[in-house]
Amino acid sequence: MFQLLKLSGYSDKAIECYVNKVNVGEIKTPDVVYTYTGSCGDMIKLYLKIESGIIKDAKFQATGCAGPLVSGSALTQIIKNKTLEQAKKVNEKNILDFLGEIPDSKHHCVSLAIKTLEETINLFEKKNLSK
């Protein structure tokens, strides 16, 4: 698997995220969970634990190819211990810089991760406005 991903254009860091399933799973009592499906059919389900406006834990589940798995892994690593306002500023370049390199054909998976984050934070904020 490692060699195949390497030949496909994934960096060692991206492969490590994929092989070690970094932050893959679910949070038993999340403050918010949201599932977003991209136009390609790939899906990311994001779980956040938020305390005093800070993302204390982030996990995800994904379906599809390696792209959404490495993108979700990078995203969750980047946003942990950030405020919601800081997390809102995370963009595709941040994920690509974190991963090092992924195939150009998988850049839409990075967009999927960002869109999932945006929608998850929006849902959390809507839920908490109504309290």
Domain over 2-129 is classified CATH 3.40.80.10: no
DSSP secondary structure letter of residue 52: T
Between strands 32-37 and 43-51, the pairing is antiparallel
**pLDDT tens digits, residue range 75-128?**
999 999 999 999 999 999 999 999 999 999 999 999 999 999 999 999 999 998
- The answer, as to whether pTM is greater than 0.85, is yes
For residue 24, what are the CA distances in angstroms to 53, 81, 85?
Answer: 23, 17, 24
Quickly state the pLDDT bin for 131 (edges 50, 70, 90).
low
**pLDDT tens digits, residue range 6-21?**
999 999 999 999 999 9
